């Protein structure tokens, strides 16, 4: 990912709301699928600019762009973004550049595009693409160690963790877009002092603060994606809440890992922030010299120099009492993806090193993103120290785990000296009573 004119901090837009305090300045231009609220319109691709959505179906009909960008906008105008994501980096960049120039202050296209804007407050979203497959990784060593110490106090971090990016196959069918609500899951649990398990609603419902990583161009079955080629395949990023039933998980997870504890619901933010938009926020990636160094297929100078991403993330809870009293949600924690033990490129390379084939729209979860400090934990399991300490919400309420009616709100953003601040919007989901 190279810096280019679309990243210029000094760019402004004729869409005035993009020049104020917003997640979506002209330097961002993320993609989603949307339609007007309450309508029977087909969902189609859109781009966020300030507090507006640029309707890409309208833009495509106007035929304003050169051949490559026009092909891209026509693909992105469909009912989902899969066809556009499949086109690859050259088309993604061509459309981003064309949109950037079209939306800039003094653009000659302003009059033609004015009617293609729809207020974000007037739209609803679908999943941005068809997610054929989803793999959840486990890339925060701080989360892995904290959770491992709860389940295995004498051996919190298993020996393979520092050698291989750990992941498991998730359930794509239960991924929903922000605004998702779902009933509290039921399943088997077993109390430590019980002889047999019992069945019923989970009592230790949790969130996990993660990034979702969308794959664009795929690879053929049997082919691999080399570490330094990962950027050609990663389309972009979203916020991802991998809801978790911790009491179900404790009983079922050995020997094959998560099952019913994870597959009842997962929530993504509607906007995909492109890999190219995130180029200014890349950082050097390091591995502690006392730890095992990556095997050759997971090691390169490029990955060392620019493999990490400084994406700030936070999570808040809004209880029914807060809503009824008109109180703001309570922020629980904040962390950054820069603390990830493994990079996105390493996840992609490892996932395909055995010949596994990605398809456009496949998604990777980063795993819970916890930082080195306790207040940077990305789950209630960590914040409450396994349910031993209640968290004061500042309004007389406390939580160890989520209660019915709780809404979890995740946000993400990037900021760096010399570049515009860009954001991801919100990832919001609500827990309903068990059916």
Could you give the residue numbers annotated as active site?
143
242 known ligand binder:
yes
208 known ligand binder:
yes
- Give the Cα separation of 251 and 265 in Å (integer): 19
138 known ligand binder:
yes
Whole-Å CA distances, 218 to 272, 303, 335, 363: 18, 20, 30, 11
Q: In 3-state terms, what secondary structure has residue 340?
A: coil
368 known ligand binder:
yes
**With the CA atoms of 240, 256, 291 and 299 taken in that order, what torsion angle do they form, in degrees rounded to the nearest 10?**
-70
136 known ligand binder:
yes
Strands 117-119, 186-189: pairing is: unpaired
- Give the Cα separation of 266 and 240 in Å (integer): 7
- Give the Cα separation of 131 and 180 in Å (integer): 16
Nearest to 396 by CA among 344, 350, 327: 327
210 known ligand binder:
yes
134 known ligand binder:
no
Q: Extract the tokens encoding 291.
A: 């730890």
Whole-Å CA distances, 400 to 332, 354, 384, 391: 12, 41, 6, 6
299 known ligand binder:
no
320 known ligand binder:
no
139 Cβ contact list (under 8 Å, min separation 6): 165, 340, 341, 342, 347, 366, 367, 369
Binding-site residues, please? 136, 138, 152, 208, 210, 242, 249, 253, 262, 266, 368
Detail the residues annotated as belonging to a binding site for Mg(2+): 242, 262, 266
Q: Which residues are documented as binding site for substrate?
A: 138, 152, 249, 253, 368
């Amino acid at each position: 990912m190279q810096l280019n004119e679309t990243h210029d901090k000094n760019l402004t837009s004729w869409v005035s709301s993009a020049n104020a305090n917003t997640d979506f300045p002209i330097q961002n231009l993320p993609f989603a699928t949307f339609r007007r609220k309450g309508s029977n319109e087909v969902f189609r691709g859109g781009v966020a600019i300030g507090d507006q959505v640029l309707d890409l179906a309208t833009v495509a009909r106007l035929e304003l762009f050169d051949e490559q960008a026009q092909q891209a906008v026509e693909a992105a105008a469909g009912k989902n973004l899969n066809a556009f994501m499949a086109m690859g980096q050259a088309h993604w960049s061509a459309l981003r550049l064309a949109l950037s120039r079209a939306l800039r202050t003094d653009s000659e296209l302003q009059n033609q595009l004015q009617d293609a804007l729809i207020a974000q407050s007037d739209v609803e979203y679908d999943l941005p693409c068809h997610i054929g497959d989803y793999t959840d990784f486990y890339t925060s060593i701080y989360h892995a160690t904290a959770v491992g110490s709860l389940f295995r106090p004498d051996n919190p971090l298993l020996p393979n963790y520092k050698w291989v990016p750990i992941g498991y196959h998730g359930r794509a069918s239960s991924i929903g877009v922000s605004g998702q609500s779902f009933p509290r899951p039921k399943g088997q649990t077993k109390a430590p002092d019980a002889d047999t398990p019992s069945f019923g609603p989970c009592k230790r419902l949790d969130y996990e603060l993660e990034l979702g990583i969308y794959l664009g161009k795929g690879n053929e079955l049997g082919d691999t994606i080399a570490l330094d080629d990962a950027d050609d395949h990663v389309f972009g990023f979203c916020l991802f809440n991998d809801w978790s039933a911790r009491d179900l998980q404790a009983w079922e997870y050995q020997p094959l890992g998560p099952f019913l504890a994870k597959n009842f619901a997962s929530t993504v933010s509607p906007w995909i922030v492109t890999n190219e938009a995130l180029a200014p926020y890349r950082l050097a990636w390091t591995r502690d010299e006392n730890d095992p160094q990556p095997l050759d297929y997971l090691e390169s100078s490029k990955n060392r120099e620019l493999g990490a991403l400084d994406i700030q993330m936070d999570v808040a809870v809004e209880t029914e009492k807060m809503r009824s009293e008109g109180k703001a949600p309570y922020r629980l924690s904040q962390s950054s993806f820069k603390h990830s033990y493994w990079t996105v490129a390493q996840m992609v390379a490892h996932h395909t090193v055995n010949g596994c084939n990605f398809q456009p729209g496949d998604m990777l979860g980063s795993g819970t993103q916890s930082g080195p400090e306790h207040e940077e934990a990305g789950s209630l399991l960590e914040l409450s120290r396994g349910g031993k300490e209640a968290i004061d919400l500042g309004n007389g309420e406390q939580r160890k785990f989520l209660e019915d009616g709780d809404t979890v709100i995740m946000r993400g953003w990037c900021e760096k000296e010399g570049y515009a601040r860009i954001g991801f919007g919100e990832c919001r989901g609500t827990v309903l009573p068990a059916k």
